[in-house]
Structure 1
């Protein structure tokens, strides 16, 4: 794909305020920026003196990305490797109720929409809403990756191991297809997901059917669905930036028919209403401020 697309689309993930967990991200090095959105890790830690019932739950939101997941089980002292396609529906992450949970973690590679195909060359449509053991669908050298990952102690080491591994994989693919997908996604991002598939196909001088097929192969979902995801994240970003919550104006600014249409589409991708999202964001900011004050 093209690293110049990344500033146009920065999807938001709700990490919640569970003080028994942590979440960190790191951007890729320059050779990987065209394909990878970020490396990330979430895991458990210990924190006393908080009420889990008052925590904001973390949420995994549809974002058009796919992920390699490497999960470490502290009890078994072993890693498991998986590849996850697009999630088309949101889900909440349960809040931890243990004061001293095991030191489990999940390390992830989040591929920018269209980026993963550069490495495995497979149609992303077959992975949508599914999770596979990595050895069943990834090109090669999984045993070597498993061995090197087992020797890591910190997030930064895991990033280095994964970048080295991915740099060795050479991607092929039609230049025409790459240009088509890059241009189509650029239009979707610039217009905030508000272009119709008919308009998009016309601008790229392809049929709607062909565009639908290419999005299935490169992103895993239809151009219409991907546009809905992009528009949803534009709305969510407005909410997180603290813009005045005039829901009718927000609906109009993002191309919804009316407020009810906005709420229906938002609930489909967030799991709750925009009002709940605004409330959860305020609580997250308050929790962050309180923790900073304590430190």
Structure 2
């Protein structure tokens, strides 16, 4: 069982990318942010088993820097809608910025819909970011990289959501992704069509798709932070029609069955790799 203090710190991070942690050769460093738009910063050196690295749906925008001395790169990644392979390079040092789920920084020159399941070259979609790129890849410490990014991002805004979309997002989070659009239509007085249209304009995806992502993350979070998990109960709590539906959905979005995933993350080495600043 992981140390309780580690669990306490990790509970503040609800956007999980567990396969990224398991891809680290040694430690996976995490730092929080005073800016609520940023979920956290992270840094790691990729191990030799990178062919088993996957990104799972989390509703987040990530900025990932490959700080290789000879051929550094940086990309902006939108959320995948199912588990996808990550192209990491063995023994390369990475620095990442994960924005909070549902947050799109306004400094990006791409639409919300264009971000979904796509990635872009960092300097192509973030104006005036060449100096930041050079600073990140040349900094020798994780703390310095975090400070450089926070200085660059200070004063920058996020895309403004409509009040209707903010309401829907809040409900999806509150219900762990288990929401019905027709129920929200009754609560708000808007038609389901209006809700769906406005949500897609703001978020780049449908409310159902975002709810599916949050259900996935809720399941991952629960498995990560509980020693005993009854999968049939979890399926019911998250609104799945039956356990087999939950098992199929989890495997598609996480690239493993719930039992296989639990066995991986419950290994002591998983929590040993996470170092919180």
Does the alignment reach a TM-score above 0.5? yes
Q: Give me the whole-angstrom Cα distance separating, in 2, the residues matched to 1:156 and 1:184.
A: 36
Check whether the contact 1:22–1:44 (CA below 8 A) recurs between aligned residues: no
| 1:147 lines up with 2:151 in the alignment | no
Unaligned runs of 5+ in 1: 1-6, 46-51
- In terms of Rg, which structure is larger? 1
Unaligned runs of 5+ in 2: 1-10
**Are the structure 2 counterparts of residues 117 and 181 from structure 1 closer, same or farther at C-alpha, using a change threshold of 3 Å?**
farther
| Deviation of 1:129 (Å) | 1.0
Check whether the contact 1:117–1:124 (CA below 8 A) recurs between aligned residues: no
Check whether the contact 1:123–1:217 (CA below 8 A) recurs between aligned residues: no
Q: Give me the whole-angstrom Cα distance separating, in 2, the residues matched to 1:8 and 1:190.
A: 15
**Which residues of 2 match residues 96-135 of structure 1 at below 5 A?**
102=91, 104-120=92-108, 122-135=110-123
Check whether the contact 2:57–2:217 (CA below 8 A) recurs between aligned residues: no
| Deviation of 1:87 (Å) | 1.0
Check whether the contact 2:14–2:221 (CA below 8 A) recurs between aligned residues: no
**Are the structure 2 counterparts of residues 287 and 117 from structure 1 closer, same or farther at C-alpha, using a change threshold of 3 Å?**
closer
Runs of 4 or more off by more than 6 Å in structure 1? none
Helix, strand or coil: the match of 1:86? Answer: coil
Larger relative CO (CA 8 A, sep 6+): 1 or 2?
2
| 1:160 lines up with 2:133 in the alignment | no
Q: Which stretch shifts more, 235-244 or 266-275?
A: 235-244
| Deviation of 1:131 (Å) | 1.0
Q: Give me the whole-angstrom Cα distance separating, in 1, the residues matched to 2:197 and 2:24.
A: 43
Deviation per CA, 1:49-68: give whole Å up to 9, x if none: xxx78x99554211000111
Match of 1:208 in 2: 192
Q: How many equivalent pairs are there?
A: 263
**Are the structure 2 counterparts of residues 165 and 251 from structure 1 closer, same or farther at C-alpha, using a change threshold of 3 Å?**
same
Check whether the contact 2:15–2:60 (CA below 8 A) recurs between aligned residues: no
Superposition RMSD in Å: 3.1
Match of 2:209 in 1: 225
Q: Give me the whole-angstrom Cα distance separating, in 1, the residues matched to 2:159 and 2:82.
A: 31
**Which residues of 2 match residues 1-295 of structure 1 at below 5 A?**
10-14=14-18, 15-17=20-22, 20-29=25-34, 32-33=35-36, 35-44=37-46, 57-74=52-69, 76=70, 78-91=71-84, 102=91, 104-120=92-108, 122-138=110-126, 140-171=127-158, 173=160, 177-242=161-226, 244-282=228-266, 284-285=267-268
